[in-house]
Structure 1
Amino acid sequence: MPALQAKHKEQDRAWLQEMLYGVLRQLPLLQFWLRQLLNKPLKSNQKVVEHLILLGFYQLAFSRVSQHAAVAETVGACQELRCPGLKGLVNACLRNFIRQDMQAMLPDDAQIRSGLPKWLFRKLQQAYPEQLDDLCLATNSKAPIWLRVNQTRVTRAEFCHALDEQEIQYTLPDDFQQAVLLSKGYDLTQLPGYQQGWFAAQDGAAQQAATLLAPQSKERVLDACAAPGGKTCHLLEQQADIKCLALDSDASRLQRVEENLHRLGHQAQIVCGDAAEPSAWWDGELFDRILLDAPCSATGVIRRHPDIKWLRKGTDIPPLVELQGKILKAVWPMLKPGGTLLYATCSILPEENREQIKQFLANQADASLSPLHAQDNASNPGWQILPGEKQMDGFYYARLIKS
């Protein structure tokens, strides 16, 4: 998406993202409408025209683009897509959509209305039957922009004063000491203090990690699976004199960690290595605290990245669960007795979260749960944040102590 946006003028980028993300959010419904108007699916190199019609439907049903402009521009795009012979088909579909008032036609199928793929809808239906409607609504909403004020550079009050001077609208969410919620979209690089490292973009749920791990002065801390470095930086803002090792297996993504550390004025040891294979990179010195932000399905951040719904498949989940368990088992020996490990995912699927930790506690005799709330216990471990809860993304945390 960023590479695509870079080819267009700045004023067109927000519209482009809105159209692309909007189609991805409403895809099952748009496809339902298309099936009413298209006698048979298009094939091979003409398939792209189906996608074009879906874009036209989205403009007509969900945007403020005028009907005339939506039809004219969508039909005209056939020329750019080298399918001029299908202009009539596209025009007929869009005109019939308007004539039949199809945007008022909603399917009886709850899965189609949810905007989710079948496999994910069924999983959420099973895991969260009472919250399902709210969960689907939150998952398909637009994510707010959270900022974390870098208090090693500026106070939140000073940052807010700078926002006020530029008439940038924001709110201060309850129970957050460093967070600022922007009231609408802005180019973050143009906000006051960006180059000076006054803030970083980080959702409220992700901001919980450093607070829950609570590093202490001069402790040795491992941030496993650290890229792009938001939590690494936050740990250093919590306690500047910790010895922090930021680990990730992707060398290209570690460049982002380095860039974020540099802009925000922090220092950490950056290591490229596989958390599941410590023998290749670990020096043998134990860690006081470990943050394991494990690879996951990312089902908690779909509202921020709607393409996840269609890139991820149900068959991806068991291998992910296996990998999470492997990494958890591999990093545990690197933790000092009495040390703390915080397990985190941006998933809302129980098998990646609660069930993963239940199994680990059952198999690891020297691991015990450090409760994060009153109902956090061995039979129902951890803290599951659902999308939209206090405007946060979906996230999971479990805090473990080594005896």
Structure 2
Amino acid sequence: MGKQDAADRRNPRWHAFQVLQEVDRGRRLGVLPPAGLSSKDQGLFRELVSGVVRWRSWIDWQIDRLLSKPLHDDEVGYALRQVLRIGIYQMAFTDRIPPHAAVSTAVDLASGLRLPHNLVNALLRRFAAEERHPEPPRLAERFSVPDWFVRRIKRQATGRHPEDLEATLRWMQTRAPLTLRWDTRKVEGPFVREQLAAKGIKSVFSPWAPFALILPEFRGAVQEIPGFEEGWWRIQDEAAQIVTTFLDPQPGERVLDACAAPGGKTEDMVQRMGGQGSVVAMEFKRERMQSLEELAAREKIVRVVRGDARHPLLPEATFDRILVDAPCSGSGTWRRHPDGKWLKKDEDIPAYLERNLHIIKGLTPLLKPGGVLVYCTCSILEEEDEEVVRTALHEIPDLKLDPLPDLLGLPMRSGMFRSPLVEGGMDGFFSARFRKVG
């Protein structure tokens, strides 16, 4: 590969190439735009990285059908595929980059990396010349999701209309809106909305989450949103805020957030409790505790403890409410974090079921009699959701299902919540509420 020079440091496509190579090696996608890029090029960098990861299987299918022979299974072949992905993504999914520019910039990128640029030029020109690009016959490539996920969703959709399956997969490729949760102790929602409007940022109030402001069209950097420096709001999806509504923490209560990092729901609890009571934020992974410790430094009622929710070293029968924001596939947030679908494996799913059942069993003794435990995931797979609840009810006699309230028409199934998968809507969340008998 070629060495980086000053021109590379100003080239968003070169930076996107480097990050995409790391993602293919298993790195998480959460990276900031590199320093030295203009605001416009930072936007292009984010678009290329997230877009290529989102549509990777579809793009690879297009590349493979246009190749006269397969790419070599070596470093050069992998790098060539990455350059071709960047070029095809620009032509297939962006409006602002003309095809000739997508081709020429990909050729320049390949040349700078000392890759066979003639192959890049020829393949991308063939793609650009097509009036319509054929669609892959298999769902995994057509909607760019792993094969194992398609198999699980098909089993889950047994007996339903085939269009429901494709609608779910199509939803996963839509853009997730940015949603804010304003801090009622600092500002009121109408004031925040007025400040956004003054900057030309469209926003709407959530009909279900009381402190949520949805920015359906915003594509810029969050630092550009009024109130960023002042701490008027935090980024938190509408569905995540609804979970705290189901928990319903009250002033003066003792609450446990059992899988707390990064702390968005913990902070939401503090806000709803008016700073009165006690919130214990527990997290197992030390590397994820910094944001919780920073929250505890700001909020006196928060105490951070490191612990395994399956074996919590906390006093029994002391908590009024417990939130289990359980480890899961994260499939309900793959619109927002598309790298997640390539990092998870089929064998992870039954492991989550077993782990989360142990978490509920480990935490039940900490609840006071009559206390509430809310189990939630950001998954759309029933094996991580309803199946965990059914098994918990069968194996833990101290718990009963406490049907969730009807919130202005939100869909409930057997007293449990699964967020509607609609374009422009909230993330895919699941919630169920238990109450301890006694």
TM-score with structure 1 length normalisation? 0.92
Q: Secondary structure at the match of 1:325?
A: helix
- In the alignment, the residues of structure 2 paired with residue 300 and residue 192 of structure 1 have an alpha-carbon distance, to the nearest angstrom, of 28
Map 1:211-360 to 2 at 5 A.
211-239=245-273, 240-260=275-295, 267-279=301-313, 282-284=314-316, 286-360=318-392
Contact kept in structure 1, 2:276 and 2:301, CA below 8 Å: no
Contact kept in structure 1, 2:317 and 2:365, CA below 8 Å: no
Deviation at 1:373, TM superposition (A): 5.2
| Structure 1: gaps spanning 5 or more residues | none
Q: Secondary structure at the match of 1:391?
A: coil
Deviation at 1:285, TM superposition (A): 6.0
Map 1:39-50 to 2 at 5 A.
39-46=69-76, 47-50=78-81
Query: Structure 1 residues 151-160 or 357-366, which shifts more?
Result: 151-160
Q: Which amino acid letter does the alignment assign opposite residue 329 of structure 1?
A: K
Deviation at 1:394, TM superposition (A): 0.3
Query: Structure 1 residues 92-101 or 226-235, which shifts more?
Result: 92-101
Q: Secondary structure at the match of 2:238?
A: coil
Of 87, 95, 101, the match for 2:125: 95
- The answer to whether 1:188 aligns with 2:222 is yes
- In the alignment, the residues of structure 2 paired with residue 285 and residue 371 of structure 1 have an alpha-carbon distance, to the nearest angstrom, of 22
Counting matched residue pairs gives: 395
Deviation at 1:217, TM superposition (A): 2.1
- The answer to whether 1:57 aligns with 2:88 is yes
Q: Which amino acid letter does the alignment assign opposite residue 113 of structure 2?
A: L
Deviation at 1:120, TM superposition (A): 0.6
Map 1:130-209 to 2 at 5 A.
130=161, 131-182=164-215, 183-209=217-243
CA shift in 2, pair 1:386/1:116, >3 Å: farther
Paired position in structure 1 for 2:8: none
Deviations 1:189-236 (A, max 9, x none): 332222332111100000012111111221110001101110001111
Paired position in structure 1 for 2:33: 5
Q: Which amino acid letter does the alignment assign opposite residue 33 of structure 2?
A: Q
Contact kept in structure 1, 2:208 and 2:242, CA below 8 Å: no
CA shift in 2, pair 1:211/1:169, >3 Å: same
Contact kept in structure 1, 2:175 and 2:423, CA below 8 Å: no
- In the alignment, the residues of structure 2 paired with residue 376 and residue 301 of structure 1 have an alpha-carbon distance, to the nearest angstrom, of 20
Contact kept in structure 1, 2:256 and 2:322, CA below 8 Å: yes
Query: Structure 1 residues 150-159 or 348-357, which shifts more?
Result: 150-159
Contact kept in structure 1, 2:209 and 2:245, CA below 8 Å: no
Q: Which amino acid letter does the alignment assign opposite residue 41 of structure 1?
A: L
Query: Structure 1 residues 133-142 or 220-229, which shifts more?
Result: 133-142
Q: Which amino acid letter does the alignment assign opposite residue 258 of structure 1?
A: E
Q: Secondary structure at the match of 2:226?
A: coil
Paired position in structure 2 for 1:110: 139
Q: Percent identity?
A: 34
Contact kept in structure 1, 2:296 and 2:303, CA below 8 Å: no
Contact kept in structure 1, 2:174 and 2:424, CA below 8 Å: no
Contact kept in structure 2, 1:301 and 1:387, CA below 8 Å: no
Deviation at 1:6, TM superposition (A): 3.0
Deviation at 1:4, TM superposition (A): 5.4
Query: Structure 1 residues 230-239 or 9-18, which shifts more?
Result: 9-18
- In the alignment, the residues of structure 2 paired with residue 94 and residue 105 of structure 1 have an alpha-carbon distance, to the nearest angstrom, of 15
Deviations 1:45-104 (A, max 9, x none): 111111211211111111121112111111111233342xx1111111111112344x52
- In the alignment, the residues of structure 2 paired with residue 104 and residue 116 of structure 1 have an alpha-carbon distance, to the nearest angstrom, of 19
Contact kept in structure 2, 1:146 and 1:203, CA below 8 Å: yes
Q: Which amino acid letter does the alignment assign opposite residue 360 of structure 1?
A: A
Q: Secondary structure at the match of 2:332?
A: helix
Contact kept in structure 1, 2:371 and 2:435, CA below 8 Å: yes
Map 1:21-32 to 2 at 5 A.
21-32=50-61
TM-score with structure 2 length normalisation? 0.85
Q: Which runs of 4+ in 1 moved over 6 A?
A: none
Query: Structure 1 residues 320-329 or 366-375, which shifts more?
Result: 366-375
| Structure 2: gaps spanning 5 or more residues | 1-28
- In the alignment, the residues of structure 1 paired with residue 70 and residue 194 of structure 2 have an alpha-carbon distance, to the nearest angstrom, of 58
Deviation at 1:170, TM superposition (A): 1.2
Map 1:79-90 to 2 at 5 A.
79-83=111-115, 86-90=116-120
Q: Which amino acid letter does the alignment assign opposite residue 336 of structure 2?
A: R
Q: Which amino acid letter does the alignment assign opposite residue 87 of structure 2?
A: G
- In the alignment, the residues of structure 2 paired with residue 57 and residue 196 of structure 1 have an alpha-carbon distance, to the nearest angstrom, of 41
